[in-house]
Chains A and B, each alone.
Chain A
Amino acid sequence: MDVELKAITKRFGAVVANKDVTLQVRAGEVLGLLGENGAGKSTLMNVLCGLYRPDEGQIVINGTPVQFTNPGDAIAAGIGMVHQHFMLVPVFTVAENVVLGVEPVGRLNHLDLKTASAKVREISARYGLTVDPDALIETLPVGVQQRVEIIKVLFRSADVLILDEPTAVLTPQEVEDFFGIVRSLRDAGKAIIFITHKLNEILEIADRISVLRAGRIVGESDPATATKADLAEVMVGRPVHFEVDRSGAAPGDAMLVIKDLTVLRDDNTIAVDNVSLTVRGGEVLGIAGVQGNGQSALIQAITGLMPAARGTIRFLGQDITHASVRARHKLGLAHIPEDRQRMGLIPDFTVAENMVLDSYYDPRYARGPQVQWDAVNQWAATAAAAFDVRTTSVFAKAGHLSGGNQQKLIVARELSRDTKAVIAAQPTRGLDVGSIEYIHSRLMAARAEGDAVLIMSSELDEILALSDRIVVMFKGRIVAEFDANVEKPEKSQIGLAMAGVAA
């Protein structure tokens, strides 16, 4: 089946997400759609799968123009999408998720889950997608959940598969397996659109490449001849430096020392299992691992948001295992949280209010019970200007800023005071390249000033670029440790550790 997007334009209010985009994909090929975060890739694909309606342009399938009013129409037309954030109901079983919307039923509208399970088994056997149809989704690792998503699409006999950033949650080895699946689907005659911002992946899997920047198609290229540097320049619109300057490593004293730390989740299951690690001043420690292996809990325990069930955390020689969030903050612990929209800032508050979110009580801004808003505003303006936060004024709502500027606001708030350690969780997730470079430079500046820097990221490239030392977490434990200053570790080595295979 051939699909063509012709001159698609999609606006959200005044924002133009896609402008005049034309694309086509044929049966039996993989089209790589490359673009950085915020370039409009997901919006474009949501148009193709019927979730959004285009303002202009049309979709043509096998030469016939079609109109989708809802995702059901797109599914009926044979288009299936695996979303970046999985569209699975966690409390349903695999089979229930797969059949949702096209359920086999018996008499009295009775759900026929036996037939559903049988069909799931049949598809998993045919494409080598091993999964237990009766398992609850929430009990499955993300790699398996992704297989369920693909089975879901195949169950609806889709001929066009859209894969939106499918490798974001996978280990390098899982990515290899996943590419195998994609190739076998292509060889079975499916048309595949592979969306990513990762250059090496697109060069490996795509038969053709289209590059999207600021909502427009800015180039097409052939993966056989294109180089990473060329593609990056087209994608960002200027030459990009991949390497972060990490020269001049001068690790000092141990500042953050964690011993035998165990952290429990709300349901009393173990999130962090007997972890010990040390971060010295002037070094960056990177925590690698597949999402959900305890990294978030470790960071929340260090910053005081989750209680430690066992073990100790010492910071600058003091025992802070049971100290409050604020006490740790006062000691000079800066925290750039994982979820900036939910935790890092309050979208309804102004930029100035967000700038003092965790320091409003400080004598600089408060006198007695009162907050001195004049002082706050002055300082917020200074910090915003110094950290390149682009906003109309400090009285604008933080929710109106772009993702990159929101993150820069958080970084400004956390790093512009006297810090001793910086804990950064997913510091650049979902940001454009410009903001990523800026935030990386700020983190390296903190390192140069002698701060202990702890970075957790699901982007292995980011960990490799920034870290002096790397630890890998799997099922709540540290399963491997690498010293990048001695010998730069191979991606595959880290990947194996991420998958729980002992090095």
Chain B
Amino acid sequence: MSVNESLDAARDKLLQRAAPDRTEFEDLVIVPLFAFAVALILGAVTMLATGVDLATIGRSYVALLVGSVGSVNALSETLVAAIPLVLAGLGLALGFRAGLFNIGAEGQILMGGLAAVIFGFTFSALPFVILMPLSLLAGALTGAFYAGIAGWLRAATGAHEVISTIMLNLISYRLLDYMLSLPWVQREGRADPVSRSVPDAAELPRLLEWLDPNLRLHAGVFVMLLAVAFVYWLLFRTKLGFEFRASGASPDAARYAGMHASLIIVIAMATAGALAGLAGANQVLGVLGRATPGFSAGIGFDAIAVALLGRSHPIGVLFAGLLFGALQAGGRQMQVDAGVGIDLIGIIQALVIVFIAAPLLVRAIFPWGFRNRQKGTHQ
């Protein structure tokens, strides 16, 4: 059967994967490296412009390095900072894959964290093995619900999620302030908006206390790793993930293929919100121990950068989150050692994304870093 044989041969040939070419390597490794380098240089320029002398700039970058990876404590702090960033970043990445630009992680973190605290102190009689996981779950579900609002608005009315999630963020600040002033939430004997504390049985246990009681690394790191694996599986191994990615890449094609667009939008938003809510729960159960106004501290916005830097890929988000966690931890050291404001880290982060999201710009600045490509071969 020569026809069949030749068909089989053709088939086998089609199943061979091409080796990753240089372009992929450039996009995945060289562009981020350059982006980071340029951002650091421009950060230095900013410091110079605000009257910081060269020696201090040098000191601050040394502090940045030491404070992020220079000691066990630094590594612990880096991981602690990375956990919520990775969790929320995974949620945003999942949204991006589904074509949803969710800016609302900040609000979802606040609502999720608040719910975890309230659940924790309300059911403080429960034992650790039940209370801690359920508190996390309460955070995730609340985050999912809060994000689901924006998803539902998008699916039912076409309201663009960028604006509705930003508004939900602003609403969440006020809602949190209000909740913290309620008598059954506010800590007894306090006039300022502070919630009751999370009971010990709801706390994520510290992992390295046996080494040094000051090490803050907590069990949330396992939650983070599980979440990375889960999102990877969800996106690339499941039917639902295929639907997310198809709707994100081409809503028309997804509809043609019989996928339920509105439902997918709501599910994708809710899943993203659950991850952000989990990030919030991690913060309050693992680090803060209570809720205060604006306890999210901009994590939801930094997570946007993490998701973009990680190219909306779970593994990429993990590394990007670790990098940004290191920047946060190092930034605090920088403030202590060199007196340079931690807001500088925000500038560096924004610059990193500019260059990541505009590879053409990086290529224009560093033409020698890339193999010369014919115009028009990239799509």
Interface of A with B (CB < 8 Å)? 12-15, 304-305, 324-326, 329, 335, 337, 339, 342-349, 353, 357-358, 360-361, 366, 369-371, 373, 377-378, 380-382, 384-386, 391-397, 399-400
Task: Give CA–CA (A357, B252) in the complex, Å.
Answer: 12
CA A396 to CA B379, docked complex, whole Å: 13
Total A-B pairs, Cβ < 8 A: 100
Decide: A381 and B15 in contact? CB cutoff 8 A. yes
Of B184-192, B233-241, B281-289, B295-303, which binds chain A? B233-241
A422–chain B nearest beta-carbon distance, Å: 15
Partner of B258, one of A12, A358, A373, A385: A358
Q: Could you tell me the distance in whole angstroms from the C-beta of B244 to the nearest C-beta in chain A?
A: 12
Binds A, one of B5-13, B134-142, B334-342: B5-13
* CB of B246 closer than 8 Å to a CB of A: yes
- Among B84-92, B143-151, B195-203, B369-377, the stretch that binds chain A is B369-377
Contact A393 B13 (CB under 8 A): yes
B368 contacts partner chain A, Cβ-Cβ < 8 Å: no
Main SS at interface, chain B:
helix
Residues on the B chain within 8 Å of A369, using CB: 238-240
Interface size class of B (residues with CB under 8 A): 20 to 34
Known: A13-B375, A353-B242. A346 touches B258 (CB 8 A): no
Scoring B240, B250, B379 by chain A CB atoms within 10 A of each residue's CB, the highest score goes to B250
| 8 A Cβ contacts from B349-379 to A | 374-377, 379
Distance in angstroms between the alpha carbons of A307 and B238 in the assembled complex: 29
| Contacting residue for A346 out of B18, B246, B260, B375, CB 8 A | B246
Q: Is the CB of B256 within 8 A of A337?
A: yes
Q: Which of A12, A325, A366 contacts B256 (CB 8 A)?
A: A325
**Contact between B249 and A349, CB atoms less than 8 A apart:** yes
CB of B17 within 8 Å of the partner chain: yes
A145–B13 Cα gap in the complex (Å)?
49
Which residues in window 136-170 of B have CB below 8 A to A?
none
Confirm or deny: B71 has a beta carbon within 8 angstroms of a beta carbon on chain A.
Answer: no
Whether B18 lies near A348 (C-beta < 8 A) is no
Query: Contacts A348-B249, A381-B15: A370 and B238 contacting too (C-beta < 8 A)?
Result: yes
In the assembled complex, the CB of A301 is this many whole angstroms from the nearest CB of chain B, namely 14
Q: Which residues of B contact A335 (CB under 8 A)?
A: 256
Instruction: List the B residue with the shortest CB-CB distance to A388.
Output: B10
User: Does the CB pair A346–B250 fall under 8 Å?
Assistant: yes
**Is the CB–CB distance between B256 and A343 below 8 Å?**
yes
In this complex, what residue of A is CB-closest to B241?
Answer: A371
- Most chain B beta-carbon neighbours within 10 Å: one of A15, A346, A377: A346
Is B253 positioned at the interface, with any CB of A under 8 Å from its CB? yes
Bound Cα distance from A386 to B7, whole angstroms: 7
Residues of A within 8 A of B376 (CB): 12-13, 15
Q: Contacts A360-B239, A361-B239 given: A326-B14 contact, CB under 8 Å?
A: no
**CB closest residue in chain B, given A304:** B258
- In the assembled complex, which residues on chain B have CB atoms less than 8 Å from the CB atom of A346? 246, 249-250, 253
Q: B174 an interface residue at 8 Å Cβ cutoff?
A: no
Once the chains bind, are A384 and B14 in contact (CB under 8 Å)? Answer: yes
Determine whether the beta carbon of B253 is less than 8 Å from that of A385. Answer: no
Complex Cα–Cα for A339 and B253 (A): 10
For B17, the chain A residues whose CB sits under 8 A away are 393, 395
CB proximity of B366 to chain A, nearest CB, Å: 21
- Evaluate whether A371 and B237 lie within 8 angstroms (CB atoms) in the complex, with A13-B374, A358-B256, A385-B11 already known: yes
A361 to B12, CA, bound (A): 24
B258 touches A325 (CB 8 A): yes
Considering the chains assembled together, what is the distance between the CA atoms of A397 and B379 in angstroms? 10
Which residues on the A side are within 8 Å of B240 (C-beta)?
369
